[in-house]
Amino acid sequence: MARLRPSEVRERVLEEHVALRKAMEELQQLVVRAEREGDEPSRVELKTECVGLLRTLHRHLDFEDRLLEPTLRAIDAWGPIRADRLRDDHRAQRRELDRLAERLGDPANTAGQCAAMVRTFLEWFARDMEEEERDILHRELLRDDAIATNIFTG
């Protein structure tokens, strides 16, 4: 695969974020249903769909590791620091994904308990995506042109 320009990397990651938000909104609807109905079928459906989303999120993190991390490393003098931060964030996110999957696997949890766990996770992950978009995926950082500083005026 040809090396993508930073703006192309940005667009691809943001496109995935749009799809992830849609999937998260759909899961949020199941959270509301599980809270309302509180029965075993709603708990099982919530768990099944959440585990599917967790797999998708793992794939997304892998995608960002392959595409975004090397782009960040090469973008400017701060690139390696940003890339290391991204890697650390992804490590923490993977731990949370795995922790939620494990907790959802506990048959002792009621539909309401599962809904609360998933709701908390969705809120956390949405905030984390917003932070990534603000700090790493903004247009001024992932741009294709070289940023030239005027040597006389800075």
Q: Assess whether pLDDT exceeds 90 at residue 142.
A: no
Confidence of residue 147 (pLDDT cuts 50, 70, 90): low
- At 20-75, the pLDDT tens digits run 999 999 999 999 999 999 999 999 999 999 999 999 999 999 999 999 999 999 98
Question: Residues 40, 46, 49, 54: is their CA dihedral positive or negative?
Answer: negative
Interval 106-117: pLDDT, tens: 999 999 999 999
Residue 146 pLDDT > 70: no
pLDDT at 143: 87
Q: Provide mean pLDDT across the span 6-23.
A: 96
Checking if the pLDDT of 105 tops 80, the result is yes
pTM as predicted = 0.88
